[in-house]
Structure 1
């Protein structure tokens, strides 16, 4: 095998590898020797078929297998000998000249091919002790617990049918059938039976609930509304519609009593036990939010502190995955980039930066994890698998077997665990100062004028664990569509 470097620019590498015809012939003879003990050819006893005869019968097909194996082995060996780590699976290019291919298959010519790849960049570790993180923490106040319990009680409020002839009031729960029409014709998704609507909840199209206030059970009425301009279904947005509504039942809200009896209706021993459980859950929610903001600060600090050349193909791959999701989201919403206050060209530039950030942080976190021997244990991976399996009741065995048989699927479970462990490692070394804030401050998003997207995409390289908090570029927010 002869290896010649034909390109070495930045992270890009290209090798020209030549395997002499003699080496290929030796490989071919070895394969045919192994084959002669297994084939059955009329006129020859088992194991006694001459190699020359086998070569005439099976030479071309076996040579094709020999070439594939030779290319795989020699390309891997060439890269190993260089002590370089490709950022992704190297690309191999063989000759496309038919005459040359024939010569190689017949054992009359050397096999020459090229291998192109990009190497992982050298990463200079920042001084983690100089990273300063402000961790916002909020106390679970009694008032917050009380508010949460009141919401639970409201969700479990009893309702009782109104007396015959009584008109509906705000707060009542109605059971209705309805049929929506545009220009007198029913439209898809505009009908339902035994639908429940609570007057005053603003869960239907603006103006719908108001026209059901003051009606009686058994009434048939026509509700006239106009869909919001920002409605999610483009063919309905801004359109005037009529709904034929039959009021089947009207229920008035009953009194809520938050006491031990209420707690027991929830399966708890007492109201104090309910409060303890609610306080614990809110505390977990607070900690999750605090952790999220700390992690964002840390990744921002790492992204700022570490600048190095990125493998172009990894960035391209990440950008394409993000861009596909973005365009699909817009298509589903019936929107364009102009609707969101941007141009496609500017948006591509913004998302390209996000792709670069993801790749940079992914490589950095992977390098930190490798150098500090941070591993995901089998126990941790099994717990993640069990959690995923539980999401598919009735299909547990199939899902479990899927993950057992698919290394790529397991990698998707392993990546976020690895990421969190690396983040924990860095936070142990960084300077983290706690700051007590209110609940509203804790959950305030300084970038709330723009949405955030979560993209989890694995690259070909095992060490690439992309961070999971990428944001959507700033643009004018579109008004959320009203729920029908």
Structure 2
């Protein structure tokens, strides 16, 4: 095999690889000898078919298979000889003029991972904002739980409905005297003051009694989802079947027992645990932002453009899908389009942080165990139909890239935990409001401070622009798994000598996810 480097610019590399025809022919001859004893042909005893006839019968298929094998091995050999760490799978092309019996000439193009200096963990300092859970917070959570669990009972027929009461109503809506789709219902429960119906609807029913009939007039909001109703004035004929009042749910032992618990103290303990878990999650978010901001500030190295493009494409597809679900999709698309440059910077940051976390993890022996991997596969399999779950697990076991993608988020969290252990951490007690304000302050600073933020934890404050947090969700996870995810897959090299059948087969092997449930239409 002869290797000639043709490009060496930044992280880009390109090579011309020549595979001698004699090497390919030798591989074919060896394969003929291997399979000849298994070939059966009329007129010959089993295992006695001459090699030249075997080659004549199966020569084309043998040549294709051996060429694929030689190409794959040559690309792997190139990586070893040049000590290359590919960022993504190399692009491998076989010379279009190649014919059997001639040398095979390959063009191999790739981007390599940058050399990252071992990050110094000395002097890493973080502040941990801790929120103690007070008895008052537990009591407030208990009161909300009791409110959510309240039931209603029929009131006297003379009872006038007030805010907080529940009505059972029939209604028919008309626009310009004509009934419209979705504007009619019977025996519909409506709690006055809940805000479930369009503005003005509930207010006009305050004071009604059982058996009352009333015509109310409302105007649909300009941003109402149904185009034919936006901004339109409508009349609703409402019949009140019942007025019902809330039954007070006293948060006592009996209330706790109605929820399947033994006592009120046990219920309070569960609520305290939930509040502590929520606070711990916010604390971790704030600490992780500090950590990643420090790493990003201290490390600036080139990142492979194709990795950034792939990361941006993933972000963009997610944003476009979310925009399509907005009440005004066109406006949402325009807003994210205006911030396209910001999302491209976020993509670059995600790649850089991912590579940095990977380097830290590899240098310090951070691993995801086989048991943890098995758990991840089982969890991921739940999104598929029961009959497809084993197929999905088998698919992941046989696909290194699929394994890396599944493993990456947990790997990142383990690296972050490792860094937390290495850091000098000082604790400071704050209120929940102060912790949330600190998170918002971080958002207002860099705007790109976290690797795995949720949609409510990201600047800017504008509604559509807040989707940047979704773009940054799992910020480093896609790259944090390290070089195992970057190695060229074995089947990829076959593209040099075969069609796209392998890719199609991969697509067929992977089971389809369960169909997503349709969202229920909102009353508003």
Query: Structure 1's 352 and 233: CA in aligned 2 closer, same or farther, altered over 3 A?
Result: farther
| 1:71-470 superposed matches below 5 A | 71-96=71-96, 100-101=97-98, 104-105=99-100, 107=101, 109-184=102-177, 190=183, 192-232=185-225, 236-333=229-326, 335=328, 342=335, 344=337, 346-385=338-377, 398-399=388-389, 402-407=392-397, 410-444=403-437, 445-446=440-441, 447=443, 449-450=461-462, 451=466, 452-453=469-470, 455-456=473-474, 463=482
Alignment partners' CA distance in 1, 2:143 and 2:480:
50
Q: Give 1:227 deviation, angstroms.
A: 2.9
Conserved? CA contact 1:179–1:191, under 8 Å: yes
Name the residue aligned to 1:474: none
Relative to 1, partners in 2 of residues 1:254 and 1:188: Cα closer, same or farther, differing over 3 Å? same
Cα distance in 2 for partners of 1:305, 1:353 equals 17
In structure 2, relative to structure 1, the CA distance for the partners of 1:151 and 1:317 (3 Å cut) is same
Supply the distance in 2 between the matched residues of 1:123 and 1:283 (Cα, whole angstroms).
38
> Contact between 1:234 and 1:334, CA under 8 Å: does it hold in 2?
no
Aligned-pair distance for 1:428? 1.6
Please tell me the root mean square deviation across aligned C-alpha atoms, in Å. Answer: 3.0
- 1:321 shift after superposition: 1.1
Distance 1:48 1:406, change over 3 A: same
Which deviates further from its counterpart, 136-145 or 178-187? 178-187
**1:119 Cα deviation after fit:** 0.9
C-alpha offsets along residues 78-115 of structure 1, whole Å, 9 cap, x if unaligned? 1112122111111101122xxx33xx22x1x1100111
Q: What is the distance in 2 between the residues matched to 1:184 and 1:23?
A: 85
Deviation at 1:171, TM superposition (A): 0.6
How far, CA to CA, are the matches of 1:251 and 1:198 in structure 2? 9
User: What SS does the aligned partner of 1:37 have?
Assistant: helix
Gaps of 5+ in 1: 467-480
Offset at residue 351 of structure 1 (A): 0.7
* Alignment deviations for residues 375-426 of structure 1 (CA, whole Å, 9 cap, x no partner): 111333344455556778xx66753652344245554442221111100111
Q: In 1, Cα distance between the equivalents of 2:250 and 2:271?
A: 17
Q: How does 1:40-79 map to 2 (within 5 A)?
A: 40-79=40-79
If the length of structure 2 is used for normalisation, what is the TM-score?
0.79
Q: Cα gap change, 1:272/1:348 in structure 2, threshold over 3 Å: closer, same or farther?
A: same
Q: How many residues are matched? A: 460
User: Could you say if the C-alpha distance between residues 267 and 304 of structure 1 is closer, same or farther in structure 2, counting changes exceeding 3 Å?
Assistant: same
Alpha-carbon distance in structure 2 between the residues aligned to 1:370 and 1:188? 60
- Greater alpha carbon shift after TM alignment, 235-244 vs 167-176: 235-244
**Post-superposition shift, 1:363?**
0.8
Q: What is the TM-score when the length of structure 1 is the normalising length?
A: 0.86
C-alpha distance in structure 1 between counterparts of 2:105 and 2:189, whole Å: 72
Q: Output one character per residue of 1:280-311: Cα deviation in whole Å (capped at 9) or x when no partner.
A: 11111110111111112211221121111101
**CA deviations over 1:420-475 (Å, ceiling 9, x no partner):** 11001111222322221111122333345152215459769952799xxxxxxxxx
Q: Compute the displacement of 1:186 (Å).
A: 5.2
